[in-house]
Amino acid sequence: MENVNLRMRLMLESEKEIVAKLSEAERYRYFLGRMQFLKYESGKENLLTSDCSGSVCLALLLATGCAIRVTADALFKKYFTKKNPDKDDIQAAFFMTLYDRKLGPRLYKENEICHVAGLCGRDVVLNCVEPYSELRSLSDMKPWYNANDYRIIVRGLDREALQQASDDNVDLFGADYQFEQIRNAIDGARG
């Protein structure tokens, strides 16, 4: 466990100069881009394996220092609530099912968010699905998702809601131990 913490501190220290002058939104996009080719694993959120919401939560942690770990649906309902985001806002694309459907072991209800992809460039998202995450054009993804009865919604981050949840240490359900190590490594690199 200590080795992961040490590796995270070393990684954060080595990238400190790269990200120091970036805004939070630029750091968010940077870390999303850095997560390309992560192995997909449900319920994970670290720099080796992640699921879709885990990659967005991890990018938020690395960019802002604020820790939350929630589902794609909770990200949409609680944190990415800006309906008309500015180009400089932290953003994510959300995929809402238009009917009840079973995906893997889970049943998603009509109008529930089933998937999220963090925006890391104009029309570029980190799409974290099996077998691994990759950078994709959102425009190129839309025809398939629309044909399969999904609605795609782009939203901006409510930074105050994120900060409040992190300060209150809520919305960390199911975070794996490595997420906490990353959080500790960030605190160690900053302090």
Using 50, 70 and 90 to split pLDDT, how confident is the model at 187?
Answer: low
Other Cβ atoms within 10 Å of 173 Cβ, number = 10
pLDDT at 1: 45
Instruction: Give the helix/strand (H/E) hosting 113.
Output: strand 113-121
pLDDT at 54: 95
Instruction: Give the helix/strand (H/E) hosting 106.
Output: strand 106-108
- Residue ranges covered by each domain of the chain: 2-159+174-190
If you average pLDDT over every residue of the chain, what do you get?
90
Q: pLDDT tens-digit profile of 130-181?
A: 999 999 999 999 999 999 999 999 999 999 999 999 999 888 877 776 777 7
Using 50, 70 and 90 to split pLDDT, how confident is the model at 13?
Answer: confident
Q: Over 70: is that where the pLDDT of 183 sits?
A: yes
pTM here is: 0.91
Q: pLDDT tens-digit profile of 37-62?
A: 999 999 888 888 899 999 999 999 99
pLDDT at 80: 98
> Three-state SS for 48?
coil
Q: pLDDT tens-digit profile of 71-97?
A: 999 999 999 999 999 999 999 999 999
Superfamily of domain 2-159+174-190: endopeptidase domain like (from Nostoc punctiforme) (3.90.1720.10)
